[in-house]
Amino acid sequence: MTPMVVGEDLPNIPWQERPADCGTVVWRHSANPIIPRDALPWSNSVFNSAVVPFRDGFAGVFRVDEKTRRQVLCAGFSEDGVHWRIEDKPLTLAGADPEISRFEYGYDPRVCRIDDRYYVMWCNGYRGMPTIGLAVTDDFKSFTQLENAFLPFNRNGVLFPRMINGKYCMLSRPSDPGHTPFGHIFISSSPDLTYWGCHRHVMGPKQPWECTKIGAGPVPIETTEGWLLIYHGVLTTCNGFSYAMGAALLDLERPWKVIARCREYLMCPETPYECMGDVPNVVFPCAALVDAETGRIAVYYGAADTSTGLCFTQVDELLNHIRAESEV
């Protein structure tokens, strides 16, 4: 049976057909980077950005590094998912306990719709240490901050788009206070988005291209075969870290169980905008749009920690590719 997406149709998904000379399962948008580093007058860079369908178009939360190099989050809107209008001021978080409400820094957001609410996860600074911030919005104008999900040190918090066995589930990567030279993906569950437990190991580095660390990317995509997880893997080279994109398939009811996993990366830094920037050699996936009817997937990714790129794949081709070359 052909693998299919479990979800809603998205007929206006941004899309380009695979180029005739492309033999890979993932291909890039011809206009990349679709969001340049200077999208705002005061931005040094705009990257690692989270996008979801919203009303008749799309909305998102974007990592913007100011020219002071302070890391902030900005909301944005688009009619077609390619041309973006990013708000000129960082988003404001309200309602948090004073202990965690002081904004220190925020970066690498994800956005997940559960029922009719949109949850934002990001790497949140708490007393100078990274942890997983969590907020909720209905309109991408006002954001209510919830409790931080985990203790420091942690990054790459990614919610699943529905409750599993009656609980919210979140992937994360425990880390350290610096530019972590290690990292495995774990899953935790919660009855209320406040108290988290039942921590389980999902997977760690395996292949050379991801031998330093891995981390969850976009919100997992539910398919008839399992949860499709697109993630990033990091190789330490003589010239520093190199980030690439991979994918795995997780069990639907026990998502800490890996069914299949790419042996090779799906996409690595190759183009000038991925190889040259503030942090060279980075492909960092953060969001995915999916059309259930056609199986089309559009993935947004950070390029060289400087700009935002867009790439495409088909769910059936990708899942068949993962299974064909899997080494669990």
For position 299, what pLDDT does the model report?
A: 98
Q: Which domain, by its residues, includes 244?
A: 27-324
For position 167, what pLDDT does the model report?
A: 98
In a domain, 2, yes or no: no
pLDDT single digits (tens) 232-257: 999 999 999 999 999 999 999 999 99
| pLDDT band at 260; cut points 50, 70, 90 | very high
Bridge-based pairing state of the strands 93-94 and 143-145:
parallel
Decide: residue 300, CB within 10 A, 0-12 exposed, 13-18 middle, 19+ buried.
Answer: buried
Q: Is 319 helix (H, G, I), strand (E, B) or coil?
A: helix
Give me the percent of the chain exceeding a pLDDT of 90.
97
pLDDT single digits (tens) 9-38: 999 999 999 999 999 999 999 999 999 999
In a domain, 237, yes or no: yes
Taking residues 258-266, report their average pLDDT.
Answer: 97
Taking residues 103-124, report their average pLDDT.
Answer: 97
Tell me, what CATH number does 238's domain have?
Answer: 2.115.10.20
Query: Could you give the CA distance from residue 203 to residue 15 in angstroms, rounded to a whole number?
Result: 31
| pLDDT band at 328; cut points 50, 70, 90 | confident
For position 179, what pLDDT does the model report?
A: 87
pLDDT single digits (tens) 271-292: 999 999 999 999 999 999 999 9
For position 2, what pLDDT does the model report?
A: 82
For position 252, what pLDDT does the model report?
A: 98
Residue 176 has pLDDT above 90, yes or no: yes
How many Å separate Cα 89 from the centre of its chain? 22
In a domain, 172, yes or no: yes
In a domain, 268, yes or no: yes
**Average pLDDT of the chain?**
97
Overall domain count for the chain: 1
For position 326, what pLDDT does the model report?
A: 87
- pTM of this prediction exceeds 0.95: yes
In a domain, 17, yes or no: no
Query: Could you give the CA distance from residue 47 to residue 49 in angstroms, rounded to a whole number?
Result: 5
- Helix/strand/coil (H, E, C) string of 7-67? CCCCCCCCCCCCCCCCCCCCEECCCCCCECCCCCCCEEEEEEEEEEEECCEEEEEEEEEEC
In a domain, 282, yes or no: yes
In a domain, 21, yes or no: no
Query: Could you give the CA distance from residue 139 to residue 54 in angstroms, rounded to a whole number?
Result: 9
Instruction: Please report which helix (H) or strand (E) contains residue 101, including its range.
Output: helix 98-101
In a domain, 79, yes or no: yes
